[in-house]
Amino acid sequence: MLKIENLTKKLENKLVIDHVTFSMQTGQIVGLVGRNGVGKTTLFRLLSGEYLSDSGGVSSDDAENARTQIFYLDAPDNFTNAYSAAQLARIFKVSYPKLDVEWFESLVKTNNLPLHKKMSSLSKGQRGLILVIAAITSKARYIFLDEPLDGLDLIVRDQVTQMLISAVSDNQTGIMLASHNLRELDTIADRIILIKEGRIEKDYLPGEELETANVAKMQMVIEGALPKVVIECGHILEKRGHLYVVLFKDYDSKMAARIKRSKAKYIEELPVNSDDIFRATFDEDYRLRQAMPKGRQ
Ligand SMILES: Nc1ncnc2c1ncn2[C@@H]1O[C@H](COP(=O)(O)OP(=O)(O)OP(=O)(O)O)[C@@H](O)[C@H]1O
């Protein structure tokens, strides 16, 4: 088990990571989510040892130095571009001695990727796929990937997803993915950690949290003026003619009764997903924008 305890980091006098504590097991895919600039990359840099923490640390049950068990590549394009996949495998092997070059090369070939072309001449998706192959074949116990699915087409995303799932299935590897794509994470993450203001705001198993989040999503047919409960407590997510999809935070029996009493012609509760949890968590940011004068939003 990888243990992250009280990790704290200030950058230019700003507290970016504030006493973050969690543990991570092999056999799990953990999603790391949060708004832009919340500190996801900083957390990865602390875990990999690229940044020194101001306090707190990282330890592992089964290694003296936890960092030897971690695979993380910061801004990979900056240094991978000058090399081919075949060359990269040999370079990575220096830092990750367990990297299985034969396995790496065979995965590169089975994914129809070139082994001997410079990374700079490959597409973003091809480079992304090669990076994920390097991460998996490094045989690192803990793999940290920043937006690995970003900019990849559906087929490549499916390939990457399959590789990540099979990598954790033997219980020898744990993967943490920073992502803004919550819907995608809902389908592959065993657990989601949500960061807000440098701290862990929520740490949940997707299905479990969705049932207890006090968030409700309603499909409502509304003719005429919006009911007060929608204006005061709801966020309108979709509108098609008279059909509205509205998200309610802090949903309880009182709010349910107000919604029921509203003049909506039809009301149906829809399933809540991680996107909705994210919206509800950053509710005040929504309200801020809604409060701005028109044309400045
Ligand atoms: N080298 C640095 N010096 C000073 N401040 C920094 C530095 N790197 C990041 N920051 C600040 O620290 C905060 C966290 O940045 P970080 O890149 O970790 O966020 P992130 O969650 O990865 O963002 P995104 O989702 O946009 O990739 C931001 O406010 C950023 O401006």
ipTM for this prediction: 0.95
216, exposed or middle or buried, with CB in 10 Å at 0-12, 13-18, 19+? buried
Tell me the per-residue pLDDT of 194-237, one tens digit each, with 9 for 90 and over. 999 999 998 988 877 777 778 999 999 999 899 999 999 999 99
pLDDT at 27: 94
Whole-number Å distance between alpha carbons of 276 and 23: 25
pLDDT at 297: 43
Q: 148 C-alpha vs ligand 1 centroid, how far in Å?
A: 18
pLDDT at 66: 84
pLDDT at 291: 54
Kindly give the number of the ligand 1 atom that is closest to the alpha carbon of 42. 18
Residue to mutate (ligand 1; options 14, 35, 41; most atoms within 8 A of CB): 41
Residues at CB less than 6 angstroms from ligand 1: 11-12, 16, 34, 36-42
Beta bridge partners of 229: none
Q: What residues in the chain have per-residue pLDDT under 50?
A: 296-297
Q: For each of the domains in the chain, give its residue range(s) and CATH number, in order of start.
A: 2-204 (3.40.50.300), 210-291 (3.30.70)
pLDDT at 79: 80
